[in-house]
Structure 1
Amino acid sequence: MKILAVGDKESRYIWDHFDRERFKDIDLILSSGDLKSEYLSFLVTMIKAPLFYVHGNHDTPYIVKEPLGCTSIDDQLVIYNDIRILGLGGSQVYNNGRFQYTEKEMALRIKRLKRVLKKYNGFDILLTHAPAYGLGDGDDLCHRGFQSFIELLDQYSPKYFIHGHQHLNYGRQERFISYKKTSIINAYEYHILEY
């Protein structure tokens, strides 16, 4: 199964110069947040694949205008083609915005999912906006990752952890990091992966 992961910056290559042939075999689109609602609606219309998203820290416009044809999986575990995907959007609190959480609040969100995680024996893909603490995050409070995500990776060993928030042009950011049995992918702009 081919998955298109997107986040943080609308790709001019995709939006302005869409090539249907290049994306014809995409089976699923995952958005890690901070993209325009219209862009997500464009993707799901042109690519003809389901699109699941989590909220980024700049996604307050979604409250008024959600992306059409797309599904928010924030605080949910969804199953698509036998792949279990867990969604946890938002970033660390830095200015009390809508999709910002303290470490304690993120841990509480995860705790509320324990029953469903037990029922489905974990998950295969973790989709978040913020990275995990110490794994591709930043030094400032806004871009610091969540320790709670490390605990999820340690307990469930998903195949993939897809996040955004850390733009690849911020400096020494890497698109791929390995952590134990999990491949971590920074979805900045876009990346295609084969599951």
Structure 2
Amino acid sequence: MKIMVLADTESRSLWDFFEKSKLEGIDLILSCGDLNPHYLQFLCCFTKAPILYVHGNHDARYEQDPPTGCTCVEDRIYNFNGIRILGLGGSMRYKKGPFQYTQREMNARIRRLRFSLMRHRGFDILLTHSPAYQINDGQDLPHMGFSGFNYLMDKYHPQYFCHGHVHMSYGREYKRLDRYKDTQIINGYEKYVFTYGEDLSQSQE
């Protein structure tokens, strides 16, 4: 299964210079947030692949104008062909606005999922906007990661953790790929395509 991960900035290759062939072979699209909802709607018109999304901290417009044809997976586990995807969007709270949380508030969201996690026997992909705490996150409050995500990886050992928020254009210290114990981590900034089940350490960008 080939999965495309998107985050933070619209790919000019997919929007300004779109060709339908660029989506051929893609089975699933995961949006990590902070993308124009019309961009996701546009892609939805040219693929049969489900587009699943969580909110970024700049996605207040989604409340009035959500991306038609796409599926929000906030605070739930979505099963796609046997792959369990857990969605938890938003960033650390640094000002007033939607889709921002304190560490305590994110932990409360995770606790509310405990019965769903038991029923689904865990999950395979963690889909978020923010990174995990001290794993390629920023030192400033807006870009600090959530410790609850570290807990989820420690307890459930998902195969993949897809996030955005820390743009790779910020500097070389923000990696495209990383690993935390059993979990392979993908920074979905702009776009990244991988095959489910592959060892990403062997892949070439």
TM-score by length of 2: 0.94
The corresponding residue for 2:188 is 187
The corresponding residue for 1:14 is 14
Partner deviation per Cα, 1:28-63 (whole Å, 9 max, x = no partner)? 110000000100101111222110000000000001
* SS of match in other structure, 2:87: strand
How many corresponding residue pairs? 195
**How many Å separate the matches in 2 of 1:167 and 1:160?**
19
**How many Å separate the matches in 2 of 1:19 and 1:191?**
17
The corresponding residue for 1:98 is 98
| Contact kept? 2:2, 2:193, Cα under 8 Å | yes
- Per-residue deviation at 1:95? 0.5
The corresponding residue for 1:117 is 117
Aligned residues: percent identity? 53
**How many Å separate the matches in 1 of 2:135 and 2:60?**
26
* SS of match in other structure, 1:96: coil
**How many Å separate the matches in 2 of 1:96 and 1:148?**
21
- Per-residue deviation at 1:19? 2.3
- Per-residue deviation at 1:96? 2.0
**Structure 2 alignment gaps of length 5 or more:** 197-205
Query: Quick one: which amino acid aligns to residue 155 of structure 1?
Result: K
* SS of match in other structure, 1:18: coil
Partner deviation per Cα, 1:97-154 (whole Å, 9 max, x = no partner)? 1000000000000000000101111000000000000111001000000001000000
Taking the TM superposition and a 5 Å limit, the aligned residue runs for 1:47-58 are 47-58=47-58
**Structure 1 alignment gaps of length 5 or more:** none
